[in-house]
Structure 1
Amino acid sequence: MALKSTVFKAELQVADLDRGHFADYALTLARHPSETDLRMMVRLLAFALYASEDLRFGKGLSTDDEPALWEVDPAGIIKCWIEVGQPDEDRVRKAAARSERVVVIAYGDKAVDVWWQQNRDKLARFGKLTVLRISNDEGEALAALAERSMKLACTVQEGTVYLEGCELRPQVLQAAA
């Protein structure tokens, strides 16, 4: 028998001063049995950073043709494709072909260093790609916020994210052209 996803509910208040975006979101996150609290919370962070009326979570780890999150406008055009973790070049290429903008939010320390060394040159050719990195310490602080029912306030100002007592400064490894 297959294990079921665990459902988490989040009331997220976003005040993104960098983009001038202010909104409240009632979110449901399904955490796949093989997904960690860290990965789930990085998905939630990605939502806060790129929040919009059309941003949605993908179907999850078991679906190859959907990202962690994506912004699809009412006409069906994929505006933004967001991956979390360390996707391979093929996945990024597919995302770049299907969407107007691609974002990767990598997390951790040594594994990200190795992944970035191996993929930096290959990924540099994707002009619409932004790659951000969350440090191990920031990731641990983020994962510690995970609860089945969460009420979170997030402020983004000058590239710094303030989320319930956590201060995160995502490092830009590659900025979109």
Structure 2
Amino acid sequence: MALKATIHKASLNISDIDRNLYSDHNLTLARHPSETDERMMIRLLAFALNAPPNNDQGLLEFGKDMWEPDEPCLVQKDLTGLLVHVIEVGQPDEKRITRLCSRAARVSVYSFSSSTATWWSGIAGKLTRLRNLTVWQVPAEQSQQLAAMCKRSMSLQLTLQDGALWVGDGTDSVEITLSCLYGNPDA
């Protein structure tokens, strides 16, 4: 018998002062049996950091990456169906990143493992021609603190001001210090 996804509900309050974006999102996340709490919370963080200010450029939606290997983690399509923004979580190989960059106007990767430096040093030289790519690193200890906030039903507040990012759940909070490894951090 196949294991089924675990459903998580997240009420997300975003106060992105840097982008003048204030929004609330009620999200349902399906966590694949092979996915960790840490990875799911990074998906949620990536959603919050890239939520569009309005729906004029299309909605940002969770993909079926854990069920369909060719699907990205998060996808934003414009109203005509063209890929505006694709977001990957983890450490995809250079072929996958190159393929995504050829299909979408913008690609972001969020890596959160302690092996990020090793992964990135192995593929960075192969991706220098990709101008629509931005690669971010979330420190492993901070992503683990974020994973500790994972519950089946969550209410999270995310505040971003002057590059400082705080995520809280009413009881605990963690400061996330994203590092841009490649690309334009303001894109």
TM-score by length of 1: 0.95
Structure 2 unmatched ranges of 5 or more:
none
Residues 1-177 of structure 1 mapped to structure 2, 5 A cutoff: 1-52=1-52, 53=55, 54-109=59-114, 111-164=115-168, 165-176=173-184
Q: Distance in 2 between matches of 1:5 and 1:60?
A: 13
Q: Distance in 1 between matches of 2:109 and 2:164?
A: 17
- Quote the RMSD (CA, aligned, Å): 1.2
Letter in 1 for 2:104: S
Structure 2 vs 1, CA of residues 169 and 87 (structure 1 numbering), >3 Å: closer, same or farther?
A: same
Q: Distance in 2 between matches of 1:150 and 1:28?
A: 10
1:82-120 per-position Cα deviation (integer Å, ceiling 9, x unaligned): 0000000111111111111000000122x2111011011
Identity, % of aligned positions: 44
After TM superposition, what 4+ stretches of structure 1 lie above 6 angstroms from structure 2? none
Letter in 2 for 1:60: D
1:59-80 per-position Cα deviation (integer Å, ceiling 9, x unaligned): 1312122211011122111111
Matched pairs, number: 176
Q: How far is the alpha carbon of 1:21 from its aligned partner?
A: 1.4
Q: Distance in 2 between matches of 1:88 and 1:158?
A: 32
Q: Bigger CA drift: 66-75 or 7-16? A: 66-75
Q: How far is the alpha carbon of 1:175 from its aligned partner?
A: 1.8
| SS class of match (1:76) | coil
TM-score by length of 2: 0.90
